Structure 1
Amino acid sequence: MSTEDGLREQPPVLAKGSWIYLIAPTKEEMQEVSRGSGIPLDFLEYPLDEEEIPRIEFDDSGVLVIIRVPVARGSTYDTVPLGIIITEDVVITVCPEDNPVISELGSGRAKGFYTFKRTRFLLHILFNASVLYLRYLRQIDRKSEGIRIMLEHSTRNKELMDLLDLGKSLVYFTASLRSNEIVMEKILKLYLSGRTGGGEEGRFIKMYEEDRELLEDVITENKQAIEMGDIYTSILNSTMDAFASVISNNLNIVMKFLTAVTIILMIPTTVASFYGMNVLLPGQSSPYAFTGTLLVSALFSIAVTILFRRRHMF
């Protein structure tokens, strides 16, 4: 698609100023794009590796920028690699699955977005990724708060596993955000060193003053997302530790209660056992022997119950 002069239309394949968006492309599709653009096939294959780390790689035919973008999968969150390939004529994005970072640009809602402004296009993607991280981080915080409230009334395994899943999502987010930050800082260093205006890098990443302002905004948003991720991770870990202590404490209380009840119930059994022996016992011939046995058992049980109560075993 092309957005030059505010028009959105389907241009010929690899037309100058085009944006080619590949979602989980086949081998044949990647080979076709590689032949048409002149970029190495590896540039198209790297972003399809789920474990690919963010980085910048230069080649005579273009530059490859890989970042990790967030995706929501039901109640959990993850990150996937997104490759942005910039040549002298086109911009190519490659991702193993569709994601809101690119979808929003493709919808035409983004302001000041033009595919022929390649560096601005790259910065818009970075900015959208940082904003999406912030959005998902707030969602994670709201979900964890809801689970915390549920755990106050019930300590089922499901809620604990949900908290664990959110904690894993936060770890993925903060790790990806820090890796993205390295890419952003490298782009800023290229600009400050003057290498975006000439040389091999400058052929593909040409940055102007307004682009630097956008890049600084991107870095600021990314740093804010990192800080939020660290804060939410700390809160979630504290919550998990607190509920682990509560569960352990509840177990101790239950065990203490059951122990006290067992001791109290053993008293009547012990007294009755004495009078069940086939030996001479005091008062065994009395018509009130059974009643006396019950009274003694009751008195001992009441006395032990009062003692345990004073020691807060109930």
Structure 2
Amino acid sequence: MISVFYTNNNLELSVYTNETSENIYDKIVRKSWIHMTNPTDEEIKRISEITSINEKNIRAPLDEEESAHIDVDEDFTLVVVDTPIVEVDEENTAIHKYYTTPFGIIFNNDYFVTISLKTTPIEQSFNNRWMKNFETNKHIKLVIQILYRNAASFVSVLKQLDRDSDSVQKRLHQSLKNKELFELMSLGKSLVYLSTGINADNLVLEKIRRMNEFRKYEEDIDLIEDAIIENKQAMEMANIHREILNGTMDAFASVISNNVNSIMKTLTVVTIVLTIPTLIASFFGMNFNLPIKSEYGFLVSIILSIILSLASAILLIKYTSGVRKKRRK
């Protein structure tokens, strides 16, 4: 999928995609912005020929293991950052799966190219025209605007993850089953992925802030600072959510353990109470003369079993209640 963005001298934005244009390559002109999502080998080859950017550099962000970094060459500049992805978890459809994927920015004097393996929040933001006041011919400023939008995407995704966590906790209050705990574990793993991506992006932003190419204009410097602040906010949110999630999992694990202990105590009381009539029936079932001889022997044994069972049940219940009260004090 290829999209082409171009702003003219009047700052009017034109957007072209494979779906709206028969030949998208004819829409690519100097100072245009080309975005590619999961491109084919043919698309990469054509874009490389048009922009004079090496295919190897275009393919770099398509590696899911590519780490965030910035490379400055005489002919081009390459910036790779991690951007958040949100998908429905196939194993737990009640929650979402969160992770990061590389997002590449490559530009030279004439062309600006972005590339990603999946549809990202950054792409959605400029497709929906949420990014305002950008010009495709100002490559440095455009890079900073994209990085700011990427940091804001992390904040938005973390808020969504927090809503998923609240939903799971509400269900956990009612059910206390392993399923909800596994969902919390999945969200905890997602937080690790997001935190790793945020920290890697922060290193890129800090490096950009020290580069002279990005400090030529006061407006660009202010925008870099805003992007760093937004990214640090995402870092703090991720740390807070991770601590809350870990604490919640520990708390609910303790609650489940206590509930299991209570159930086991109840079963123990029931077992002891049922043991008494079994014991009495065993005595009366032995093959020798008993001290009590009566035609109502069966009825006597039943009544005796009931009395002793009720007495033992009352004593055990009072004992367990007394132990609980002492623990509460």
Fraction of identical pairs, as percent: 39
| 1:13 positional shift | 5.3
Q: Using the TM superposition, give the Cα deviation of residue 51 of structure 1 relative to its aligned residue in structure 2, in angstroms.
A: 1.6
Give the deviation of 1:167 after TM superposition: 1.5
Shift in Å, 1:119: 1.0
Task: Supply the distance in 1 between the matched residues of 2:173 and 2:129 (Cα, whole angstroms).
Answer: 45
CA deviations over 1:247-276 (Å, ceiling 9, x no partner): 111111111111110111010010110110
Structure 2 partner of 1:7: 12
User: 2 CA distance for matches of 1:229 and 1:174?
Assistant: 6
Where 2:72 maps in the other structure, the secondary structure is strand
* Corresponding residue of 2:174: 153
Conservation of the 8 A alpha-carbon contact between 2:144 and 2:224:
yes
State how far apart, in whole Å, the 1-side matches of 2:198 and 2:216 are. 23
The answer to whether the Cα contact below 8 Å between 2:209 and 2:215 also exists between their aligned partners in 1 is no
2:47 maps to: 33
- TM-aligned CA deviation for residue 290 of structure 1: 2.2
What is the deviation of 1:243?
Answer: 1.1
2:243 corresponds to 1:239: no
Matched residue of 1:281: which SS?
Answer: coil
Q: Distance in 2 between matches of 1:241 and 1:251?
A: 15
| Distance in 1 between residues matched to 2:316 and 2:116, nearest whole Å | 66
Shift in Å, 1:79: 1.2
Are 1:187 and 2:192 matched, yes or no? no
Q: Tell whether 2:252 aligns with 1:209.
A: no
**2:91 corresponding residue in structure 1:** none
1:119-268 equivalent positions in 2, closer than 5 A: 119-190=140-211, 195-196=212-213, 205=214, 207-268=216-277
Mean alpha-carbon deviation: is it higher for 210-219 or for 166-175? Answer: 166-175
**TM-score using structure 2 length:** 0.87
Deviation at 1:145, TM superposition (A): 1.1
Counterpart for residue 318 of structure 2: 310
- Aligned residue number for residue 295 of structure 1: 303
Q: For 1:104 and 1:36, how far apart are their aligned partners in 2?
A: 26
Please state if 1:20 is matched with 2:34.
yes
Distance 2:169 2:224 in 1: 38
Question: Contact 2:84 / 2:154 at 8 angstroms: preserved in 1?
Answer: yes
Deviation at 1:14, TM superposition (A): 4.7
2:67 is matched with which residue: 45, 53, 77? 53
TM-score w.r.t. length of structure 1: 0.90
Check the 8 A contact 1:272/1:293 in 2, yes or no. Answer: yes
Note the residue ranges of structure 2 that are not aligned, 5 or more in a row.
17-24, 89-95, 325-329
Contact residue 119 and residue 207 of structure 1 kept, 8 A: no
Aligned pair partner of 1:63 in 73, 77, 93: 77
Going from structure 1 to structure 2, the CA distance change for 1:303 and 1:169 (only over 3 Å counts) comes to: same
- SS of 1:280's equivalent in the other structure is coil
In structure 1, C-alpha distance between the alignment counterparts of 2:216 and 2:30, rounded to whole Å: 19
Q: Secondary structure at the match of 2:281?
A: helix
CA distance in 2, matches of 1:296, 1:107: 81
Quote the Cα distance in structure 1 between the aligned partners of 2:208 and 2:66: 19
**Aligned AA for 1:268?**
P
RMSD over aligned Cα, in angstroms?
1.8
Aligned partners of 1:56 and 1:65 also within 8 Å: yes
Aligned AA (2:294): S
CA distance in structure 2 between the aligned counterparts of 1:106 and 1:118, rounded to whole angstroms: 18
Q: Contact 2:215 / 2:221 at 8 angstroms: preserved in 1?
A: no
Counterpart secondary structure, 2:198: helix
Deviates more, 1:12-21 or 1:88-97: 12-21
Separation in 2 of the partners of 1:232 and 1:138? 9
Residue 20 of structure 2 is matched in structure 1 by: none
Q: 2:279 aligns with which of 261, 270, 281?
A: 270
Aligned residues: 301
Find the residue that maps to 1:108 and give its secondary structure: coil
**Helix, strand or coil at the partner of 2:151:** helix
Q: Which has the higher contact order (CA 8 A, sep 6+)?
A: 1
